[in-house]
Amino acid sequence: MDSEKLQKVLARSGFGSRREMERWIEEKRININGVLATLGDRVTPLDKVSLNGKLVELVFAGAEPRRVLLYNKPLGEVCTRHDPEGRPTVFDALPPLKQGRWIAIGRLDINTTGLLIFTTDGELANKMMHPSARIDREYAVRVLGEVDEEMLDRLKKGVLLDDGMANFTDVQFFDGEGANKWYHCVVMEGRNREVRRLWESQGLKVSRLKRVRFGPVFMPSDIKVGTWKEMDRKACNLLALEMGLEQDTSRVVRTPIQRAADERLHKKQRVRQSADKERVVRQEVKQKRKTGKVRSVGKRNAR
């Protein structure tokens, strides 16, 4: 039975990048068959691997395909798996996995919408997020205020922010009249609120912000807000090749039953969106009742 390097299998299983897995091994967080793992160890499907004392399921080469989801993030969702404040997270909307876990490629703040990419492949996620990859991110932004050419030149040449110099590699007028105008701008980093802070450094207010592209991946027009769509194998392989990774050679083929299950999940997305809207409305009404800004009207007893 063929064996693989432990850190490679863990990365494929969605626990992180190979480098991160190597660090976990050095930190003595991983056991193989009850024995502390060391760098260079190899595993097979017969081995039992535990992380922080808990058994984990591993995905070996050819066992599961590399999966990539494109998600159109709505306002009000946070990019964490569990939020201590109880706010909805982007992971709540994703389809469940039998093995591994979804890894978010990059983040968006709670008030930013648009393209989020998720994958089951830790190596792909690491390649796309690492600064050395120099992957650009494109945003559509609506700003309030007067914008002139000198201002755009400053934004492209560089502005000193609290955490250092930052700039747009490109910024172009897109649409709009009057005080509110839409621009498309590109940044090469994923620094916290970088796009907002760049515009605000010029005395402008950002009223809407949406990511429309992450590297070679564009937001498809058929993905509605709050819903996801999975890349097919050909698109996944093209993305992997651009990132310098091997193509997916797994032998797994989705059956008609699995495809039907996927279709049901897509239908549930629309139901989930409606439920989210109702939940938001209920929370707003509840808050207004607490502040005395709305009168509570009780239900009449049915007779």
> Which are the contacts of 265, defined by CB distance < 8 A and separation ≥ 6?
95
Residues 34-73 pLDDT 10s: 999 999 999 998 999 999 999 988 877 766 778 899 999 9
Q: Which of 92, 109, 153, 262 is catalytic?
A: 109
d(CA 145, CA 242): 39
109 is catalytic: yes
The larger pLDDT score, comparing residue 5 to residue 284, is at: 5
Q: For the whole prediction, is pTM greater than 0.85?
A: no
Residues 6+ apart with CB under 8 A from 264: none
Q: What is the pLDDT of residues 182-198, one digit of tens each?
A: 999 999 987 888 999 99
- 133 pLDDT band (50/70/90 cuts)? confident
pLDDT score of 51: 92
